């Protein structure tokens, strides 16, 4: 029996977060939103839509928001954690596909990969994702085509076994590398929709990709003992 908690990190997403929560709730047991120091109505909109809201008083970064959410969620008996963004870049209607793969036992870590179409993405996002994906694939020994996808479903017991330290977008790479190194089976699912209209990414593509790749080298080549400590 799979029980899924959804974790959404949000910063100034009053426009979309309520709709994302409402569209996610039918597929999971509970939705948690971590408001990372928003100065708009993000918390109120998420709460009104039915989410459990955790809030930072100041903006600390996506990784810090995810770690705050995991601290709360992993103390409860959920079997899986679903991660998705608050800005409707991910389509909640795709969630059953990820859950079905987990139910079939295909993978411990189900990564939803968007179709990367040059004409459908801002150029900086497209090229930084292609470069980052090739580097990450080399580091983990498994082909990945969308390294910047935050849409994923992961077994909770595996997340309890690692200590994540990332404070910004690099946490998604850190999570993938550390779990694969521990033997997690990665399953990749192509998702249909990628929305950029009206969704302004807070990621700075080249700078954040470079930073993530440098940190990925550390995550990949640190010793096993160091890995457990991180």
pLDDT, tens digit (0-9, with 9 covering 90-100), for 180-225: 888 899 998 998 755 554 455 555 555 656 655 666 666 556 544 4
Query: With pLDDT > 90 as the criterion, what percentage of the chain qualifies?
Result: 54
**Which DSSP letter does residue 65 get?**
H
- Per-residue pLDDT tens digits for 1-58: 899 999 999 999 999 999 999 999 999 999 999 999 999 999 999 999 999 999 999 9
Split at pLDDT 50, 70, 90, the class of 149 is: confident
Phi, psi of 34 (to 5 degrees): -105, 110
Higher pLDDT, 149 or 222: 149
Please list, in sequence order, all residues whose beta carbon lies within 8 angstroms of the beta carbon of residue 161, skipping any fewer than 6 positions away.
182
Q: What is the pLDDT of residue 42?
A: 98
- Per-residue pLDDT tens digits for 50-86: 999 999 999 999 999 999 999 999 999 999 999 999 9
CA 69 – CA 126 distance, rounded (Å): 29
Split at pLDDT 50, 70, 90, the class of 228 is: very low
pLDDT beyond 90 at 89:
no
Pair 204, 161: CB distance under 8 Å: no
Task: Give the tokens for residue 5.
Answer: 């908690």
**CATH topology (fold) of 4-229:** Spore Coat Polysaccharide Biosynthesis Protein SpsA; Chain A (3.90.550)
**Nearest partner of 166 among 215, 229, 210, 128, judged by Cα:** 215
Domain boundaries, the chain: 4-229
Task: Give the tokens for residue 168.
Answer: 């910004």
């Amino acid at each position: 029996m799979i029980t899924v908690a959804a974790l959404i990190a949000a910063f100034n997403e009053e426009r979309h977060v309520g709709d994302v929560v409402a569209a996610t709730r039918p597929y999971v047991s509970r939705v948690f939103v971590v408001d990372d120091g928003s100065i708009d109505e993000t918390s109120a909109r998420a709460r009104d839509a039915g989410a459990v809201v955790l809030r930072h008083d100041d903006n600390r970064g996506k990784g810090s928001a995810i770690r705050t959410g995991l601290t709360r969620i992993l103390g409860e008996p959920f079997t899986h954690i679903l991660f998705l963004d608050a800005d409707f870049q991910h389509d909640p209607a795709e969630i059953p596909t990820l859950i079905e793969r987990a139910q079939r036992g295909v993978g411990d870590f189900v990564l939803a990969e968007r179709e990367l179409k040059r004409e459908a993405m801002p150029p900086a996002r497209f090229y930084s994702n292609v470069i980052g994906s090739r580097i990450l694939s080399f580091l983990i020994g498994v082909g990945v085509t969308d390294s910047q996808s935050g849409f994923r479903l992961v077994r909770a017991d595996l997340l309890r076994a690692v200590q994540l330290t990332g404070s910004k977008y690099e946490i998604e790479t850190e999570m993938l590398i550390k779990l694969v190194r521990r033997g997690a089976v990665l399953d990749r699912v192509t998702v249909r929709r990628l929305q950029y209209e009206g969704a302004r990414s807070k990621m700075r593509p080249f700078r954040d990709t470079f930073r993530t790749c440098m940190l990925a080298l550390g995550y990949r080549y640190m010793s096993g003992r160091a890995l457990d400590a991180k």
